[in-house]
Amino acid sequence: MSEKFNVLQSAMASSERIFTLLDTPIDIASPAAVASPGEPALSRPTAPPDSTRRRHQGPGRIVFDDVTFAYGPGGDGQAPVLRDVSFEVEPGQRVGIVGATGAGKTTLMSLLLRFYDVSRGRILIDGVDVREMDLHVLRGLFSLVLQDVHLFSGTIASNIRLGRVDLDDERVRRAAAAVHADRFIRSLPRGFETPVAERGATLSVGQKQLLSFARALAFDPAILFLDDATSSVDTETELLIRDALRVLMAGRTTLAIAHRLSTIQDMDKILVLHHGQLREMGSHQELLAARGIYFKLFQLQFARPAT
């Protein structure tokens, strides 16, 4: 009886945390989603996606214009995570982002997707400030491939489709084949209809990563964001993943966060962040020739110590 009481208490504490999360006010909303005082956050209207979509059908040009950001309401009293960051990414350009832990790499992604608003400056996509875009339209421009892949209970196909009813079986299969995910899928007992355990517990790290690439390709995004997408896999799988990445990045604006410099050496441009500032920018060879922060990072990873 005491054991059941402990389980009940634990469940009550968990439910309290869930309702606290659900009741948290929404600070980031679409331009037309402005709630009246006292109006529940979840009842806020959303801007008509069609009207916003007509305003920016461009190919994926990104501009960070003098962006400064600090956490907290308005960033008051907080040390900036990013300071005076400015750069441009042309349509179809592949850009690597490097820097030490805490340099602000992931914060760039969070601001671009408008999980937070900038403290100063602006972020433009095809000439439109992200704060003026409907959130559904803005986030629909992106596909994310993260190091920690999120898979759900269901089938292989449903995890690639991810709720998109307009993705038919043929499109799912083509996406999987393009990124080499079909190699291991064909070896499964039921192929694309093979059940997947919660969080992909029955699949290897490399298999989950290939599924995430197939998912991103099937969605056919204008902009691709990669966050250390080739880490923690064996050499053979990494070669497959690199080839899959070439397919995935073709013709798409791509931003890739990387800790291993070998994964971004052939990018069109590399941004080097240091203590929240954009300190260096250029190609791999240009940055090595400058013998600055990137050169030191490269030496740490690849140079042999002098004997």
How far apart are the C-alpha atoms of 176 and 213, rounded to whole Å? 8
User: Domain ends where: 219, 234, 266?
Assistant: 219
Q: Are residues 61 and 197 in the same domain?
A: no
Entry pTM? 0.79
- β-pairing, 277-282 vs 253-257, is unpaired
Q: Are residues 68 and 171 part of one domain? A: no
Q: Is residue 307 part of a domain?
A: yes
Q: Yes or no: say if 258 and 98 are a contact pair by the CB < 8 Å rule.
A: yes
Tally Cβ neighbours within 10 Å of residue 210. 26
Same-domain check for residues 95 and 184: no
- H helix or E strand, kind and range, residue 64: strand 62-69
Q: Let me know: does 121 contact 111? Beta carbons within 8 Å.
A: no
* Residue 180 within a domain: yes
- CATH number reported for the structural domain that contains residue 165 in this entry: 3.40.50.300
Task: Give dist(CA 105, CA 99) in Å, integer.
Answer: 7
Structure token pair of residue 198? 């919660």
247 within some domain: yes
From the CB of residue 130, how many other CB atoms can be counted at a distance below 10 Å? 20
Does 237 lie in the same domain as 137? yes
Q: Within 10 A of 110 (CB to CB), how many other CB atoms are there?
A: 13
Q: For 82, how many CA atoms within 13 A lie in the half-sphere containing its CB?
A: 30
**Is 184 within 8 Å of 263 (Cβ atoms)?**
no
pLDDT of the residue at 117 = 93
Q: Kindly state whether residues 162 and 67 are assigned to the same domain.
A: no
Q: Are residues 128 and 233 in the same domain?
A: yes
Amino acid 231: pLDDT: 58
Each residue's pLDDT, cut to its tens digit, for the chain (307 residues) gives 777 778 888 888 889 899 988 888 878 888 865 433 344 443 334 444 443 443 445 688 999 999 999 987 655 567 899 999 999 999 999 999 999 888 889 999 999 999 999 999 999 999 999 999 999 999 999 988 887 888 888 899 999 998 888 888 999 999 999 888 888 999 998 999 999 888 778 888 888 888 998 999 898 889 999 887 665 566 677 777 778 888 888 889 999 998 888 888 889 999 999 999 999 999 999 999 999 999 999 998 876 554 4
Inside any domain, residue 202: yes
Let me know if 39 is exposed, middle or buried by CB neighbors in 10 A (0-12, 13-18, 19+): exposed
Domain boundary among 43, 59, 76: 43
Residue 149, phi-psi category: left (phi > 0), alpha (psi -120 to 50), beta (remainder)? beta
Does a structural domain hold residue 13? yes
In a domain, residue 91? The reply is yes
How far apart are the C-alpha atoms of 108 and 89, rounded to whole Å? 13
**Where does a domain end: 161, 188, 219?**
219
Identify the domain containing residue 181 by its residue range: 151-219
Q: Is 267 within the bounds of a domain? A: yes
Place of tokens 């690639």: 160
- Both 200 and 109 in a single domain? no
pLDDT for 38 equals: 41
Q: Is residue 146 part of a domain?
A: no
73 and 129 in a single domain? The answer is: yes
Q: How many distinct structural domains can be found in the chain? A: 3
User: Are 235 and 168 contained in the same domain?
Assistant: no
pLDDT of residue 253: 94
Co-location of 101 and 228 in the same domain = yes
Backbone angles phi, psi at 33, to 5 degrees: -90, 70
123 and 229 both lie in a single domain: yes
* Domain shared by 131 and 229, yes or no: yes
Q: Is 21 helix (H, G, I), strand (E, B) or coil?
A: helix
